Every structure is written in structure tokens, then in C-alpha cells.
Structure 1
Amino acid sequence: MNADTVRRKVARRLLPPLFLMFVLSFLDRTNVALVKTHLATDAGIDAAAYGFGAGVFFVGYALLGVPSNLVLHRWGARRWLAVLMFVWGLLSCAMALTSSPTGFYVLRFLLGAAEAGFFPGVILYITYWFPAADRGKATGMFQSAVAVSSIIGNPVGGYLIGLHGLAGLDGWQWMFLLEGAPTVLLALAVPWLLTDRPEDARWLTDEEKALLTARIEADRPTDDAQPPRRIREIVGDSRVLRLMFVYFAIQIGVYGVTFWLPALVGRIEGLNDVGIGFVSALPWVCALLGVLVLPWLSDRSGNRRGPLRLALVLTAAGLVGGALLPPVPAVAALCVAAFGFLGAQPVFWTVPPTLLTGVQMAGTIALISGFGNLGGFLGPYVMGVTESATGSGTNGLYAITLIVAAGAAVVTGFRWAGLRASPTTQQQQTEKEEITDDPHRALR
């Protein structure tokens, strides 16, 4: 038995259900992008109202992220994630009842509140199971669900919209119903698919549990790292504040594009709903490459700052191209942006666990995620207001680009442990990898 065997065993057991859960999560929060014009016609939701409603999801998300993650840390991942999935699945189905801007706002807010604990909860959960040297790849595999969800979801959503008139329902209503129902069903199975902690895993031997636990404990911040302990210290820590802004910059790029990509693709002449869905999936193919390649490079080199900065620069460049170029090359530019903004995220999430532990880490991950995802509110809202004021949503991409570029500048100024593995850390990791015959050696 060696560390590689245990790592593969854990990955095979836990990453597939987490991946599928995130596919449904991202689908349920972003499928509204495909029905923007239908909501305008059937529910009186204009561009500004749509932008506000699409983004208000992240207000609920930001408000409840921290308490939700603290519950998960105390109660366990498998039960809490199952509850969250069941509730947001029902709310996603309820989106089919939208009949006015007010109802749209309320349902989107509640959906965000229900999903608030899922993503930061899984990021925390990954730290329970994967040592620092493997977290970039593990998080990348998990976050590749965003790209897969969009690759699959856009064409499937376009097809479901085509069910217009079936059983007296509009096509967009069928889309919400049939994309929310699988979430409810999967939620019922989550308690049997996940295991809370390594010590609870009946599918690991005692030796495998000891080895995995030793490796994870060795990665916790030392006393020399002086992690903040109190809420005031955490919120006032300049490292945490910078991480919050960088994640905000990433998310404003992600959702500014996500909610408006179908509208941008719609400028290409001759495309129907299904065609728009397929073309809208292309940037997410590139995003899938980014979320696999950049974390692999980061884990392999131990360098977090370089790949993260590169990802943000590519995002900014792609957004500028999406605003300036004609429709077809603009889609190609957004492919570059997607490679960057999705590849940035798993690299980014390797850093917070180097600063905090335990309940402080649970709260801080949710705090960063919640604040960062306010970019998901501001991005669509800026795009919507800009379109209403100027007649072109692409003008809003310029403001978003400036924020992403500022995020790249902040990353350039990062100077703390965790952004590049020190020779000592690499040596310790090598020693841990060599433990084969006596896994308890790491505990001595």
C-alpha cells in the first residue's frame, strides 16, 4: 500500500458523486440564461429586471454561506448536502411558476439561499479527504462540472424549450421542471454516496485511514503561520481580504459571461434556440480544458500565483475580444475567457487551507465564496442596466474586464506561504509518498 493507491481510492469513491451534484447545481442556477427572451414575453421581465433577478441569487448565496458551512462542519457533509440539494431542487422546479418580476426575484433569492452552502461546503469537504499536494487536481475535477454542465445543459435546455405547448405548458416551464427534478432525486441518495470523514470510511482499511489522516494533518498551518482565530481577526486579515477580492473578480467574469452568452451568441444570424444552445456550449469546452490543465500545472510545480495570474489575464483578454469583435470571433474570444476564469478557481481554492484550520477555515471559505459570488450579482446586473441604457449588453463587458484585470494585479502582489511550495514542504511531501510498508511511520 502507498499514498498513490489511497489517493486513487478516495478519488474514485468521492469525486464522481460530488461532480454530478455540481453539474446539477450549476445547471439549476444558470439555466435561466436560456429563457431570457421567453421571460420577457410571458412574464414581463425586461433586460434590467432579468439582470437583477439573475444576480439576486447571489445575495441569498452571500448571506447564508457562512452559517451553512458552519452547520456542515458540525453536522457532517453527507446529511447537510442532501438537505440543501433537496430544497434547491424543489425551488428550481418552482421557477416554472414565474409570472412576474417580483416572483422571479423571490424565487431566485431563495434558490441562492438554498445553494449557499453547497460549493463552499464541498471545498471544505475536500480538505478533509485530500492532502494539499492533491487539492488542486481534486478541486479541478470537481469544478470541471461547471463546464460539463454548460456543455450538456445549453443544448438540452434548448431542446426542452422546444416542448412548448406539451400538456399546456410553455417550453421554458418544462425546462425548469425537468432540470430541477433530477436534483431532488439525487438528494435522496447523497447520504449513502458520501462519507463524512476518513475515520468513518468502511471502504478504507485501518492502515489506509492512518496514512491519509497523517498526510492531511501534516498539511495544517503550523503555529508559525499565525492563522487568525477570531471573526474580527479573520475579516481584518489582509490576506483574507485580498482573497475575497480576487475571488470576486473571478466570479464577476464567470457570471457576466454565463448569463449573457446565449444573448451574445444570438447575434449570429440563422440560429434557433437549439443552435444557440450548441454554440453557447463551445466556450465551456475550452473551460473544461482550463479547469484540468491549470490545476495540474499548479500542483506539479507547487506554484499557485503564476497559474492564477495567467488565468485572470486570459479572462480579461477574452472579455475584451467578446466586446470588440464581430459575433463569430467574439465567441472564440469568450472561449479564451472561459479557459481562464474556470481554470483559475481550483488553483485559487488551494490557498485558503494554508491560512486557517477547523471551524475558522469552514467560516472563511464560505465568507470568501459568499463575497466573491456577489460578483455573480453585480456582473449580470451591470450587463442588464447597460443593455437597457445603451441598447447593447456587450458594453458592460468593459467594466467587468477592468475588475478582472484588477484581480490579476492583486495576485501579482501576493507574498505569503501557500502560493509556492517551499523546498521543505516539497521534501516532506516526498517523504510521505515513500511511506509504503508502515503507514504509522508518518505519525511518529
Structure 2
Amino acid sequence: MNPATTMENTRRKVSRRLLPPLFVMFVLSFLDRTNVALVKSHLADDAGIDATAFGLGAGVFFIGYALLGVPSNLVLHRFGARRWLAALMFVWGLLSCAMALVSNPTGFYVLRFLLGAAEAGFFPGVILYITYWFPAADRGKATGMFQAAVAVASIIGNPLGGFLIGLRGLAGLEGWQWMFLLEGAPTVILALAVPWLLTDRPEQARWLSAEEKDLLARRIEADRPGEDAREPRRVRETLADSRVLRLMFVYFAIQIGVYGVTFWLPALVGRIDGLGDVGIGFVSALPWVCALLGVLALPWISDRSGDRRGPLRLALVLTVVGLLGGVLLPPVPAIAALCVAAFGFLGAQPVFWTVPPTILSGAHMAGTIALISGFGNLGGFLGPYLMGVAESGTGSGATGLYAIAAIVAVGVCTATTLRWVGGPTTPSREERTTDDTHRALRR
């Protein structure tokens, strides 16, 4: 069979086999970490959790996330993804169900911290896992399809959460308790199937032929960093690398925009008169429809053109503009502005994650991806906390959104310097020849 046709068939097999379960896993992950946003007022009434406590509890998730991401990714790299990801899912699913037991701020903080610790290895682990299976020219699209789960989780999660909250009184439980129980249980169930749904490495895939395994391995090996991107021997060397530091800050800026909006979007939508829990859930889903477009369109453009910096800068600029519009405009136009922000901050992420594999490889890449993810997700702590402090101090989250927009704006400037990051930015001659040959054969 023609090598171009074989490679195209291999790409399709890998995508069809691995991306759907990873996508569903991320949908459940995002629901379990963010569904708390819909029950802010209910927790205040039933558990005495005010705006500041809620912001701290929503954000403390990312403290546990930041602390355990690196060791978790190193375990995954050494022992394989199937069983490790399954174990993480099982634990965080149980913790998500346990959120139904929250009765005071202390319990809220503890469970959110433990939930973050359990989920710490999932996202950076999957980003690392994608580098095992997809050549560099395909990683933007693959990561975009995986991260589309964030938008889909928010589109279905807000209306679903609103419906489940409406079950108040059933079997003596409040609606918010039913929401945590019924959204955490599917995670536990799916975790039991993950070892059979995933394959650790291409050479272990019984569903690929020997020729397909060999061709895929050679393409991925060709994308490994050159000698100029040597692996540092110590964590201190990694932290002294200005490229890594810049990547850490850019991802921090993206995440503070994501979670600042995610945890407070329902409250912003609540400014529209006449909406109940279900109505707030549906309107809150609108920005995520735009986010879905961004997470699919921007990495496709980036992979197609070979340009990483341009789409990344555009996405961050749109995020800043949308955040400011969410503050300055009346309620209905403000929701439209947040749609622009969502298109930007979610579309930025798959483009961003094409860069770290061009710097390091092996165990050091595993640790660096988790380091960037963990530090960046501290924005998930600071974003909700800023919003909570701003609301408690001023009665409005506007000041917090201004601060978040300013941080993202600095991220735009930092992203501009990423031209100094090494690694392939355009397809190799072999990649172009193979792809062109395949397109010619199709015609």
C-alpha cells in the first residue's frame, strides 16, 4: 500500500480509537470540577458558604492540582496511561459524589482540595499521551478535539445541572446534592472501563498492523527535539529556562480567564431578570457554543498554516476584549462579549499545547508539561478568588474581571515573545510530500 495512504489510514484509526474515550473522560472531569458554580447560592443558604468562602473553595481545587501534577505525570510516563488514568478517575468520581455531604466551609475546602489532587494528573497526562500517538503536524487538531470536551461539558452541564438542582426534596435530599451525586457516579463507572478503552503505546496496539506501527513510530520519532533542545538534568535547570517560564505565564493567563468566567458566569447571567435555575443554565451555555467553535477552528488553522504564535495571540486578544465587554456592557450584550472571550480562551489552549513537546522529550517533557499545567491552573485558584473578594468588597464582580483582563493582556505580550521557542513551526518536507501525495491520490 502507498505510504501516504497507509499513514492517513493510521491517523484515522488512532483518532477514532483514542479520542472518543479521552473526550468523554474530559467531559466528566470538567463537569466534576466546575459544577459547583451552579450551586453558589444554594451552598450559601444550606452550608453557610458566603461569596469569599465560595471563591476560596472553588479555587483551592487548583492548589491540590498544582502540587501533584508533576509526580502524577512521571508515574504515567513510567508505568503507562491506561491504569493510572483509570485510578485517578475512580478516586475523583467518588470525591465528586462526596461533595453532596458538604455542610460547612471547612468541609467544602477539604473536598475541593482533594478533588484537585485526584484530577491533577489527568489533563497533563492526556497531553503527554497525545505526544505518544500523534505526529507534531496533527497534535493541534487532536488536542483541540480533546479540549472540545470543555465546551461540550459546559453546554450540556449547565442545563443538566439546572435540571438536577430542580430535584430538591426527592428522597429527602436537596437539588444540589442530587447534582453532585448524579454527575459523579458516571465517572466512577467509566473508570472501570478505561483500561480496556486505551492502549499505552503504539507498539502495543493490536488494532494496528506492523506496517502502520512502524510508519507511525518513524513519524513521531522524526518530531523529537534536536540536540539544541537537550533535556536538563535537574528541575532547577528547567525553571531557569526562559522559554519554560514564558510558557508557564502564558498558560496561567489563559487559565485565569477560563476559570474566572467559568465559576462566575451563572452569577453574571443572573443579572438578566426573569431567569430561574434552568434558564440561567441554558443562557450560561451560549458562550460555550462559541468556545466549541474556537477550540476546533483555531488549532485547525494553526496546523494547516504551521503558525502557532498568530492564532495564539489572536485568541488571547479576543479573550481580553470579551472580558472587558462582560463588565462594561448591559446584561444581554455582555453575554455576547463573554461568547467572544470563550472563543478566545478555549481556542488558545490546543494551539498552546503544541509548543512544549518542541522543547523537551521523555521524562523531562512529562514533568515540564505537568509543571506548566500545574502553575497555569493556579490561575484557576486566583481567578475565582479575585472574583469572590471583589464581590464581597464591592457588591460586584466587575473589579475582579478588570484584574483578570489585565493579566490576560500581559499574557498577550508574553505570547508575542514565543517566537524564540524552538521546535518545528511548519510541516517538514517529508510531511508536505506525504500529505500532498495523499491529496493527489484522492483526486
Identity %: 81
Q: Distance in 2 between matches of 1:163 and 1:433?
A: 53
Residue 427 in 1 paired to residue 429 in 2?
Answer: yes
Q: Distance in 2 between matches of 1:418 and 1:428?
A: 19
Q: Give the RMSD, CA atoms, in angstroms.
A: 1.2
Alpha-carbon distance, 1:434 to partner:
7.2
Q: Kindly provide the CA deviation profile for residues 40-95 of structure 1, in whole angstroms up to 9, marking residues without a partner as x.
A: 00000000000000000000000000000000001100000000000000000000
Aligned to 2:33: 29
Aligned to 1:93: 97
Question: Which residue identity is paired with 1:205?
Answer: S
Aligned to 2:263: 259
Select the residue among 214, 221, 224 that pairs with 1:217: 221
Gaps of at least 5 residues in structure 1 are 437-444
The alignment's TM-score, normalised by the length of structure 2, stands at 0.96
Select the residue among 356, 361, 366 that pairs with 1:357: 361
Paired residues for 1:142-291 under 5 Å: 142-291=146-295
3-state DSSP class of the match of 1:204? Answer: coil
Residue 103 in 1 paired to residue 107 in 2?
Answer: yes
Select the residue among 330, 335, 355 that pairs with 2:334: 330
Paired residues for 1:333-348 under 5 Å: 333-348=337-352
Alpha-carbon distance, 1:227 to partner:
4.3
Q: Is the Cα–Cα contact under 8 Å of residues 147 and 350 in structure 2 kept in the other structure?
A: yes
Aligned to 2:15: 11
Alpha-carbon distance, 1:290 to partner:
0.2
Q: Distance in 1 between matches of 2:367 and 2:398?
A: 36
Q: Kindly provide the CA deviation profile for residues 99-126 of structure 1, in whole angstroms up to 9, marking residues without a partner as x.
A: 0000000000000000000000000000
Q: Is the Cα–Cα contact under 8 Å of residues 3 and 435 in structure 1 kept in the other structure?
A: no
Residue 401 in 1 paired to residue 405 in 2?
Answer: yes
Q: Distance in 2 between matches of 1:183 and 1:379?
A: 26
Q: Distance in 2 between matches of 1:164 and 1:85?
A: 27
Gaps of at least 5 residues in structure 2 are 439-443
Q: Distance in 1 between matches of 2:13 and 2:233?
A: 34
3-state DSSP class of the match of 1:415? Answer: helix
Q: Is the Cα–Cα contact under 8 Å of residues 2 and 435 in structure 1 kept in the other structure?
A: no
Alpha-carbon distance, 1:226 to partner:
3.5
Question: Which residue identity is paired with 1:273?
Answer: D
Q: Distance in 1 between matches of 2:84 and 2:261?
A: 31
How many residues align? The count is 434
The alignment's TM-score, normalised by the length of structure 1, stands at 0.96
Residue 44 in 1 paired to residue 48 in 2?
Answer: yes
Q: Distance in 2 between matches of 1:87 and 1:410?
A: 37
Q: Distance in 1 between matches of 2:406 and 2:34?
A: 24
Q: Is the Cα–Cα contact under 8 Å of residues 309 and 419 in structure 2 kept in the other structure?
A: no
3-state DSSP class of the match of 2:314? Answer: helix
Question: Which residue identity is paired with 1:327?
Answer: P
Alpha-carbon distance, 1:413 to partner:
1.8
Q: Distance in 1 between matches of 2:208 and 2:233?
A: 33
Aligned to 2:390: 386
Q: Distance in 2 between matches of 1:217 and 1:60?
A: 34
Q: Distance in 2 between matches of 1:310 and 1:239?
A: 20
Alpha-carbon distance, 1:235 to partner:
1.1
Question: Which residue identity is paired with 1:322?
Answer: G
Q: Distance in 2 between matches of 1:273 and 1:98?
A: 20
Q: Say if 1:417 and 1:430 are closer, same or farther in 2 by CA, change over 3 A.
A: farther
Q: Is the Cα–Cα contact under 8 Å of residues 359 and 423 in structure 2 kept in the other structure?
A: no
